[in-house]
Chains A and B, each alone.
Chain A
Amino acid sequence: MRRTFVILALLTLGLLSYALYEGLVAAPTEQTMGEVQRIFYYHVPSAVTAFTLFLINFAASIIYLARRSPTADALAVSTAEVGVVFCTVVLVTGPLWARPVWGIWWTWDARLTSTLLLWLIYISYLILRRYSTSGQTPVIAAVLAVFGFLDVPFVYVANRLFRTQHPQPVYFGGPGSGADPRMTHALLMNMAAFFCFAALVVWLRFRLERARQDFDETEALEALLQPDARSPR
């Protein structure tokens, strides 16, 4: 298992390096925005990765609610946590791109506001998981995750439904949308690299969560077996 992980980690590192080269060097410079447009190659893959992780979290939460499976619960918390990390990258790289292009760091348009709301929903989910002492915490968190996920499709369609400062979609945006094939290649390479990286981090986080569940179970059993914990006859 450890050897497989090391091999996959090295492959991911190679892919990330190649994707970095594609984004910073190989892709052509965009005519209007110039070099700063290359933030696109980190901003968009981070957003797509975060949405994918939230989708897995949504599915795992439904499975947990249906079957009370600890594995599904561990997968749900792992994908939510790593998804929040990627969503944080989106919220940091976005303003760093907006400032030189729009002249402002932030605006309360539908796309940006719904993305911030999404981040806050999953932060609430993680805070609930971390600090609630109720035995029903995984159930409450799963319900929050199911309803919280409804914001993901809204974020996706926000700049199609409303007039936003955020640009219209580059891909799947109707006639006239699309980009230079070399830009598309750089984007796809970065997306593949970010997906592999996210999968590795989720794997690590999932194993930690499963180990934590086993530890909590063992500790509870140990406490029950302590002589002073037995009820008097």
Chain B
Amino acid sequence: MKFLYAAYAATWIIHITYLAFLSRRYRRLRDEMHDLRKK
């Protein structure tokens, strides 16, 4: 059973990590746009 739960948990850890990474890139782009508007 531990392998089954490990596989399911690993799947969601990978997806959530990617979504967090995507969210960080969104924030970075928004900040860059903000800086460009200020110039």
Contacts and interface: CB of A to CB of B under 8 A. Distances in A.
Contacts, number: 62
Where chain B touches its partner, the secondary structure class is helix
B19 A201 contact: yes
Given A89-B10, A89-B11, A92-B10, A208 B29 contact: yes
A215 B18 contact: no
Interface in A192-233: 197, 201, 204-205, 208, 211-212, 215, 218-219, 222
A222 B36 contact: yes
Contacts of A100: 3
B20 interface: no
A92 B3 contact: no
Interface residues of A, number: 30
Interface of B: 1, 3-4, 6-8, 10-11, 14-15, 18-19, 22, 25-26, 29, 32-33, 36, 39
